[in-house]
Structure 1
């Protein structure tokens, strides 16, 4: 069908509702899976870190494959929509089973989680990649795509806040492994709602054919290798994704073992994510005045300072720790705004140099890098737990040694702060300015 310049409101909302699925799956495993493995199944921290990391790393390899398969899908409903329903339903079912391991030997329980998380990651790749590709096929209008993405980003932010804040509350209200089981089912229902809403909401959307870009990861990396500024931006963003992943994984441990306060996990998560809902326009306005790179540096420094202040968690009042995490959230908002605004600049410069738009290639590599960074974060945090002598358990109360409490605190605070500061070494060499981007072809 020929693409219409303006999409109906129902299509915009319907497409954006798919972010309920991506936001839920993108948040809950990073927040809840590592504590589930160490504190309910009694799996050692290093093994638990591997279980959390491996399926996400698998997604990095699988994403280009899922993209090529959906590119070649021929269906009257469009090449992407069938995958939304097929993979989305599979994601919801496997997610519900992920936190429902039956009582078995510890090794078998670990294998259950690994297999189910791999299944979740596979289903997610075949949902998320076609879902992200759909805007290029729904409309040819630059402004309409902006409106479409506005709905998606708004729903995504609200979902992350809602899912991340309620998941610990559901678990704690029931307690033990049954709490995790109920939480998994509730989150699976949320995923299913997003999947079916996106599928139904886009049923009347126009579709036109878009020529696919480079098909595999090697082709994509070859293109990126010729774009030094994009490469520097990507390395900065991936290192910071490791930091964010480590902090997200540490929320439950800091709340339960260090702060020891009921509901602290929910408060910490809201402090971390909440500012992104409020301060995104403020960071964008600052970037318009001082430049995107300078704004990115400023946001990174704010985040690092907040993380370092959180290192006082073992001795400071809980209110001060919450305030430090709010400061982290303020910086985190800017660290999401600026790189996402700088990505199309790098792609636009490439389009001027090469004579063709390859924004899809850049986005594919960017997504793979972000996935890898967010997967490494919990793994790195698990290594810190193991070095600190963290004691895993099967749900019973365990008194952690002082070294474990210190490891939790440092893994949540100093480690992410150092990673963020390290990332600025690459950002320092990023050289694109407004003058470089002006006059480039629209991508």
Structure 2
């Protein structure tokens, strides 16, 4: 991938962030803010469809469709937040006013989402739509400016992967700790229940705890990175209103590397969304997990996150970010499909076999490692796109690019839940089902549709990552030329 680097536009070159290692305190504070997204993502992805389908009693396809409709608003809201963040000026810089302002709305919206009042089915779906829009808009108002700090804190190619890895390990830690708390503290079985996933009262405590965790994480991160405001780029803003902002947005999104990452991320994060939304169905109905098994699940998944935290930056330094990301997402598809293919062939341990859980957990650990590693590298490559765009447009558009990246991430709970609802409907999965009471043909179709969809999306993402057009050498040459124009 030896691509020529055009000269930066001289008229309006934005200040370049330093090529530096970010201080440990700043890195930790920056990463800690991702706890909020981890809590939101695990809740949306793992429990939302199950809650409104099996607990509230709404059809799965309708729930998936409503969450998908909320995602359509994100397609407009996220880039507008990105543009507005890029154009914000004040003593608190471009990003921090948004970060501080998002904290309370996220917490209030989260509590409302899990506490729908007693309404008709139609109005309950409307409540779901409204609460989902509030939560996701508030999350965007925090996460888009926060992620945009990655290319602003440092222009170093490998350092961006390092600080992104911190963001992902904190995000997954927050999400998995909330997952563990849900399984062990909040969603505990009541008399007559084999597990507590259908315990409606437990979701109220789950909502309050999650809201508090997100509020604290956002404020700690905003305060902890506040000292960096004076060092962050404050590029010139072209005067003008909405028309100028839309022209900047259009110029940014025509960037080819950005579009490749958006498409690859769309496939990868949709996979994650499908996996999250169907996970409790697969755990409870296919693999027949008992409550005690759920206690180990968060630790198993987090072990994979730790492997990714250490391994993804190291592999990227050795083979480059695009090849590393392609290899990891392809491996994720194969690992996810393997136990279901073996089960259908009669070669995988059955739920009454003591070997099933250890074998399954080993696969889950590896799948978690390569999936999270893919996400880390994708976000790091998105940070590198900022300078690629700058040499062509003369503008730093971090907010716009990370708005696009974050929109793709939210497809986890939009397209992912929508497709999951379709899979459940196509398999004929009943509402109000109980473990052990769903016929084998339905479970077989559920696993075939899930594993097949996951594998196809993984390989599509891998192909796109391989077509990302530049690597470390091109990035460093570009940064050197931009530095020479400052």
TM-score (norm 1): 0.84
- Separation of aligned partners in 1, 2:394 and 2:163: 27
Shift of 1:361: 3.7
Distance change in 2, residues 1:276/1:217 (3 Å): farther
Match of 2:117 in 1: 102
Partner of 1:56: 71
* Gap change, CA 1:170 and 1:302, over 3 Å in 2: same
Using structure 2 for the length normalisation, give the TM-score.
Answer: 0.77
1:187 corresponds to: 210
Deviation at 1:38, TM superposition (A): 1.0
Please name the residue that 1:307 is paired with: 336
Q: Name the stretch that deviates more: 239-248 or 291-300.
A: 291-300
Are 1:65 and 2:80 an aligned pair?
yes
1:269-292 CA distances to partner (integer Å, 9 max, x unpaired)? 544453122233323333333333
1:42 correspondence with 2:57: yes
**1:420 and 2:449 aligned:** no
Question: Do the aligned partners of residues 130 and 298 (structure 1) sit closer, same or farther apart at CA in structure 2, a change above 3 Å counting?
Answer: closer
For 1:45 and 1:370, the matched residues in 2 are separated by 22
Asked if the contact 2:68–2:417 (Cα under 8 Å) also holds between the matched residues in 1, the reply is yes
Deviates more, 1:153-162 or 1:117-126: 153-162
Deviation at 1:267, TM superposition (A): 4.3
Aligned residue number for residue 378 of structure 1: 417
The correspondence of residues 254-269 of structure 1 with structure 2, limited to 5 A, is 254-263=282-291, 264-265=293-294, 267-268=296-297
In the TM superposition, 1:19-168 aligns within 5 A as 19-71=34-86, 76-78=91-93, 80-134=95-149, 152-168=167-183
Higher relative contact order (CA 8 A, sep 6+): 2
Check whether the contact 1:254–1:412 (CA below 8 A) recurs between aligned residues: no
> Structure 2 CA distance, aligned partners of 1:433 and 1:73?
31
1:390 aligns with 2:429: yes
Distance (Å, rounded) in 2 between the aligned partners of 1:17 and 1:54: 30
Question: Is the alpha carbon distance of 1:400 and 1:210 closer, same or farther for their aligned partners in structure 2, counting shifts above 3 Å?
Answer: farther
2:414 aligns to what SS in structure 1?
helix
* Separation in structure 1 between the aligned mates of residue 225 and residue 460 of structure 2, nearest angstrom: 42
Point out where structure 2 has 5 or more consecutive residues left out of the alignment. 1-16, 190-195, 350-355
Distance in 2 (alpha carbons) for counterparts of 1:75 and 1:355: 22
Residues paired across the two proteins, number:
439
| Aligned counterpart, 1:241 | 269
1:307, 1:412 within 8 Å by CA — same for their partners in 2? no
1:373-403 Cα deviation digits (max 9, x unpaired): 552112111100011111112x877933334
The alignment's C-alpha RMSD in Å is 3.6
Gaps of 5+ in 1: none
| Aligned 8 A contact 1:24 1:159 in 2 | yes
Q: 1:81 to 1:422 in 2, by over 3 A?
A: closer
Aligned-partner Cα distance in 2 for 1:223–1:9: 32
Greater Cα offset, 169-178 or 40-49 = 169-178
